[in-house]
Structure 1
Amino acid sequence: MRLTMIGGGGFRTPLVHAALLRDREPGRVTSVALVDIDPDRLRTMARILAKQAEGVADAPTVTTHTDAAEGLRGADFVFSAIRVGGLQGRAHDELIGLSHGVIGQETVGFGGISYALRTLPTAMHLAELVKRVAPDAWVINFTNPAGLVTEAMARVLGSRVIGICDSPIGLARRALSALGLAVGPNVEADYAGLNHLGWLTRLRVDGVDRLPELLGRPDQIEAFEEGRLFGAEWIQTLGVLPNEYLHYYSYEREVLHSDQLASQTRGRYLLEQQTGFWADAGRAPDPLAVWEAARLDREATYMATNRDSVGMGERNADDLVSGGYENVAIALMRGIAYDEHSRLILNVPNAGTIAWLDDDAVVEVPCVVDATGAHPIPGAQVPDFGRGLVTTIKYVERETIEAGVGGSRAAALRALAHHPLIDSVKVAHALLDGARATFPELSYLY
């Protein structure tokens, strides 16, 4: 199989490559094309992957391309992981948000909408390019906000674009670990909602739901990250396990206060860290070791202000393990390419799964994967208390898509003004004006 990675010079590429190296099954990926607009990063990434592949027999061949059409030719699968505006854009979003008293995180609220408005024109161009150059390829979208971008690209690619996020499987893995269990073929996690806005509602092991057992033990709840982040009492009150990103909604005031007190935003921190990483890796004899050190630092400081807002302190060693999106991606590819049926939590069109959302709304739910694609499993249950939030955020996503695809400034304003983390129409106006003044690429909004 041939895999093309759009944004292949991105920091997480070695995670995917490591998973490809571990895959020794017949029909595995044998060719990887890295596509990126930055030739220097591509050269450094190729060196990192070469170091990673040392001693691995029959490692996939890796080629680099700055021409997307060239890199897409012959692709069976396409990973889309782009960041329009780079980390500088993320840092600007955070500062614009904080200057108006709102959270600026890159996938929720103002930050998510601004990021999407920068990204959607490029994502739609990519979808058209894939349709023209590699019409038989399947696109696996990692680009954030993942559900929103997947839904927009589906207008061009239909069911051949599927979104992936590692938050749900990471949550399930940590919950299982608190019970002394591990992810395996005997485990079925029931999860429902939207990307970065969902709940783990059941956790069946050998057909038995073990979630009530976990919810009955405060010590077990607070043995893993989400349990400490939300607190055992609140999780027991909910009766389900929330995705970590729901912390921005449940503790908005505390997170905003922590963000305001921080010496620098997460985006600024990553921008400085990544600038140093690329410089060091570009000249290091062992760029893989430089990457590993930077990756551990990123994981250790992940959602730091959220943890500070509730007094959590440092992350536990078990929480530093990657959520495993790269393994989900390989299982998805194999399921489609070789009809290897698997059960995965993915971002796909609703198709009646959540009864009160329309069929085309992209949701994050368990799916069965086969040669014809990913199919949501009927019966996904959003908790009653979450219905209003899911409905509102889906409206916000739709208005953001209308703005990003159609150039409607009014739609962008509606998205901002109706987001629960933005509490004033006047503030919504100011945020949009701030984004348009900061990002020349938003001049298409009229």
Structure 2
Amino acid sequence: MTKPPFILAIAGGGSTYTPGIVKSLMVRLADFPLAEIRLYDIDGERQDIIAPVVEKVIRDHSQSIKLTVTTDPEVAFSHAHFVFAQMRVGQYKMREQDEKIPLRHGVVGQETCGPGGLAYGLRTILPMVELIDLVERYADNAWIVNYSNPAAIVAEGVRRLRPQARVLNICDMPVAAMRNIAAVLGVDREAVTVNYFGLNHFGWFTQVLVDGVDRLPQLREHIARFGLLTEDAAATDPQHSDPSWVKTWRNIKPLMDHFPEYLPNPYMQYYLMPNQIVEHQNPDYTRANEVMDGREKKLFAAAAEYKRTGILPDAFHVGVHGSFIVDVARSLAFDLRQRHLVIVENRGAIANLPYDAMVEVPAYITANGPEAVTVGKIPLFYKGLIEQQLACEQLLVEATLEGSYEKALQAFTLNRTVPTMQHAKAILDDMIAANQDYWPQLEQAYKEGIAQ
């Protein structure tokens, strides 16, 4: 087992999440000692804006931790013990297209769900594999803790292309839901243990245990009135409390009004009530614009203020995103066998789903990786929904690997947010035009198809 203090690289060092993650690391130094933090990004200009803020956060807690800022993968990953991956291929400019193009066709415009998530996946799979290869070339058996979206598609791509890679795919959405659950129940998040099954952004909580007692019946009563928010909505952290997020948490109510057996992941709203979602989305101002005008602008302004005055305004926070990734890294580092919801190869955990499906279930995180908790068989309704979504995601991965326009079209058509094959084709064709710098093979296949 690797001994501390650790060398940690953050791939996507120019992300607006980076200062919050580093702050999470700093307040947990006694639990997860660090010798060096390395920021790595292919966009050096953006990273250089974020880096001084990160430096300030580190120095407020430690004078001994080395900070390295680089665009050179060898410098970033040589002898690293852990890599946190949070890449956003195409940055917010492409996220905006992912959201607005479907909306032009009356279809859900969302970063990780529906056509937007499929487009994002087409951009991200191969860069993620490239990152894995760089880490394996330069690091010493490092663990990659991957936060890069869309996590389900990225995880499936990695399973196909690099099945032996030391990658643990995680998502903070279930953990954010657990934070809200704990707030509603009036307990600490650490006191809540859940049972859960599904795919990433496509799953259900089946039990919510506090001191061994299932509190899901109590949650049902609360959700019927307020959604998955406290009565005054004051418990949500800033990362998930923008107006669009408040609406997301409230939309759990209609989902459970129809299917009260289990508590759904909030993202199920996009698949089970897409028409209502589209009715309330602004095609000219989407979540990407909200983030660019909010979190990104605030952090960049704070960085400029700090550069000018030496005073760092309060521009970021430590939320579930940062604390969760530190929890997982600690459990990997010290073989703690802590129980977390993560994305793993099924291997029978959900008995009536394919063995090789990348599912999201509770698992014990060990020094050798995750050990999934056995879920057993799931009811037919949920099995059917999951199998359709799984086929959509697997076709999308095959489209990426083969440069296949036909399989991309099949994936878009199969997605529950897309009403018809005509919608699927129109959206995909617009997506190909917008992504010509990222999908050269797919664009060529599309052009060849037209010529035939």
TM-score range, shorter chain: 0.7 to 0.9
Aligned 8 A contact 2:118 2:412 in 1: yes
- Measured at CA, do residues 222 and 44 of structure 1 come closer, stay the same or move farther in structure 2, by a change above 3 Å? closer
- Measured at CA, do residues 369 and 253 of structure 1 come closer, stay the same or move farther in structure 2, by a change above 3 Å? same
- Measured at CA, do residues 30 and 250 of structure 1 come closer, stay the same or move farther in structure 2, by a change above 3 Å? same
The equivalent position to 1:291 in structure 2, one of 284, 292, 315, is 315
The equivalent position to 2:439 in structure 1, one of 415, 436, 442, is 442
- Measured at CA, do residues 180 and 271 of structure 1 come closer, stay the same or move farther in structure 2, by a change above 3 Å? closer
- Measured at CA, do residues 353 and 31 of structure 1 come closer, stay the same or move farther in structure 2, by a change above 3 Å? same
Displacement, 1:237?
4.2
Once residues 211 and 257 of structure 2 are traced to their aligned partners in structure 1, the CA distance between those partners, rounded to angstroms, is 24
- Measured at CA, do residues 167 and 278 of structure 1 come closer, stay the same or move farther in structure 2, by a change above 3 Å? closer
TM-score (norm 1): 0.86
In structure 1, the partner of 2:173 is 167
Displacement, 1:78?
1.0
In structure 1, the partner of 2:277 is 255
In structure 1, the partner of 2:186 is 180
Displacement, 1:24?
3.3
Aligned 8 A contact 1:80 1:142 in 2: yes
Displacement, 1:20?
0.8
User: Does residue 214 in structure 1 map to residue 209 in structure 2?
Assistant: no
- Measured at CA, do residues 171 and 380 of structure 1 come closer, stay the same or move farther in structure 2, by a change above 3 Å? farther
Displacement, 1:238?
1.7
Once residues 295 and 182 of structure 2 are traced to their aligned partners in structure 1, the CA distance between those partners, rounded to angstroms, is 33
3-state SS, counterpart of residue 64 of structure 1: strand
1:322-380 deviations in Å (ceiling 9; x for gaps)? 3x132222222222222112001111111111112222211111000112111111126
In structure 1, the partner of 2:362 is 366
Equivalent positions of 1:319-358 (< 5 A) are 322=319, 324-358=320-354
Equivalent positions of 1:9-88 (< 5 A) are 9-25=14-30, 28-57=33-62, 60-88=65-93
Once residues 314 and 219 of structure 2 are traced to their aligned partners in structure 1, the CA distance between those partners, rounded to angstroms, is 38
Q: Which deviates further from its counterpart, 55-64 or 205-214?
A: 55-64
3-state SS, counterpart of residue 5 of structure 1: strand
3-state SS, counterpart of residue 291 of structure 1: coil
Q: Which amino acid aligns with 1:371?
A: A
Once residues 137 and 255 of structure 2 are traced to their aligned partners in structure 1, the CA distance between those partners, rounded to angstroms, is 53
Aligned 8 A contact 2:180 2:228 in 1: no
- Measured at CA, do residues 117 and 223 of structure 1 come closer, stay the same or move farther in structure 2, by a change above 3 Å? closer
The equivalent position to 1:266 in structure 2, one of 287, 297, 305, is 287
Once residues 134 and 60 of structure 2 are traced to their aligned partners in structure 1, the CA distance between those partners, rounded to angstroms, is 36
Aligned 8 A contact 1:44 1:281 in 2: no
3-state SS, counterpart of residue 251 of structure 2: helix
Aligned 8 A contact 1:215 1:239 in 2: no
In structure 2, the partner of 1:130 is 135
Unaligned runs of 5+ in 2: 1-5, 231-245, 446-452
Once residues 422 and 13 of structure 2 are traced to their aligned partners in structure 1, the CA distance between those partners, rounded to angstroms, is 40
Aligned length: 416
Displacement, 1:159?
5.6
TM-score (norm 2): 0.85
- Measured at CA, do residues 432 and 161 of structure 1 come closer, stay the same or move farther in structure 2, by a change above 3 Å? same
1:157-178 deviations in Å (ceiling 9; x for gaps)? 5361111111111112211221
Once residues 268 and 221 of structure 1 are traced to their aligned partners in structure 2, the CA distance between those partners, rounded to angstroms, is 25
Aligned 8 A contact 2:11 2:85 in 1: yes
Displacement, 1:433?
1.2
Displacement, 1:278?
6.2
In structure 2, the partner of 1:228 is 250
- Measured at CA, do residues 178 and 279 of structure 1 come closer, stay the same or move farther in structure 2, by a change above 3 Å? closer
Once residues 440 and 29 of structure 2 are traced to their aligned partners in structure 1, the CA distance between those partners, rounded to angstroms, is 48
Once residues 330 and 173 of structure 2 are traced to their aligned partners in structure 1, the CA distance between those partners, rounded to angstroms, is 21
In structure 2, the partner of 1:427 is 423
Unaligned runs of 5+ in 1: 296-320
The equivalent position to 1:113 in structure 2, one of 105, 111, 118, is 118
- Measured at CA, do residues 223 and 409 of structure 1 come closer, stay the same or move farther in structure 2, by a change above 3 Å? closer
3-state SS, counterpart of residue 30 of structure 1: strand
Aligned 8 A contact 2:198 2:361 in 1: yes
Q: Which deviates further from its counterpart, 21-30 or 402-411?
A: 21-30
Aligned 8 A contact 1:193 1:382 in 2: no
Identical aligned residues as a percent: 31
Taking only aligned residues, the RMSD between alpha carbons, in angstroms, comes to 2.4
- Measured at CA, do residues 339 and 393 of structure 1 come closer, stay the same or move farther in structure 2, by a change above 3 Å? same
Q: Which amino acid aligns with 1:245?
A: Y
Once residues 172 and 275 of structure 1 are traced to their aligned partners in structure 2, the CA distance between those partners, rounded to angstroms, is 26
In structure 2, the partner of 1:301 is none
Aligned 8 A contact 2:104 2:283 in 1: no
1:266-311 deviations in Å (ceiling 9; x for gaps)? 223333456644652442125742633xx7xxxxxxxxxxxxxxxx
- Measured at CA, do residues 419 and 237 of structure 1 come closer, stay the same or move farther in structure 2, by a change above 3 Å? closer
Displacement, 1:6?
0.7
Once residues 138 and 194 of structure 1 are traced to their aligned partners in structure 2, the CA distance between those partners, rounded to angstroms, is 22
Aligned 8 A contact 1:339 1:370 in 2: yes
3-state SS, counterpart of residue 393 of structure 1: helix
Once residues 13 and 233 of structure 1 are traced to their aligned partners in structure 2, the CA distance between those partners, rounded to angstroms, is 33
Q: Which amino acid aligns with 1:162?
A: L
Q: Which amino acid aligns with 2:171?
A: C
Aligned 8 A contact 1:120 1:149 in 2: yes
Aligned 8 A contact 1:88 1:271 in 2: no
Q: Which amino acid aligns with 2:272?
A: S
Once residues 414 and 107 of structure 2 are traced to their aligned partners in structure 1, the CA distance between those partners, rounded to angstroms, is 14
In structure 2, the partner of 1:4 is 9
In structure 2, the partner of 1:198 is 203
In structure 1, the partner of 2:96 is 91
3-state SS, counterpart of residue 267 of structure 2: helix
